[in-house]
Amino acid sequence: MGFLKKDKFEKLKEVKESKIENYLVKEIRKLKGRAYKFESPSNAGVPDRLCFLPGGVSFLIETKRPEGKLRPLQRVQINRIKGYGQIVEVLDTKEKIDVFLDKYKRR
């Protein structure tokens, strides 16, 4: 819980992962990019979205509800993908999405 007051923390817990994911898609589109839903049937635990922005920028995003935790297999997959030199982020709030995407708005 950290710096959040209990009532604010309880409200954040009510936010669904789909709401965070939909916000990500909307913000990527504002940057003239695409955020494809990524599912790999033979590779469970891969990130939710494969994102592309103009200028050859790509990254993978795992969305979670606020304070949501990664499953062990998700950690393995994320570390494996990062090992290939790819950008992978785990984002669980609209604010974290904004901060992450801000560096691409300045390009």
| pLDDT tens profile 33-84 | 999 999 999 999 999 999 999 999 999 999 999 999 999 999 999 999 999 9
The residue among 12 and 77 whose pLDDT is bigger is 77
The stretch 85-92 carries a mean pLDDT of 98
Whether 24 shows a pLDDT value over 70: the answer reads yes
Q: What does each C-alpha distance from 31 to 3, 35, 64, 107 come to in angstroms?
A: 32, 11, 22, 10
Closest CA to 24 of 104, 79, 86: 104
- H or E element in which residue 49 lies: strand 49-53
Share of the chain above pLDDT 70, in %: 87
15 falls in which pLDDT band (50, 70, 90)? confident
Whether 97 shows a pLDDT value over 80: the answer reads yes
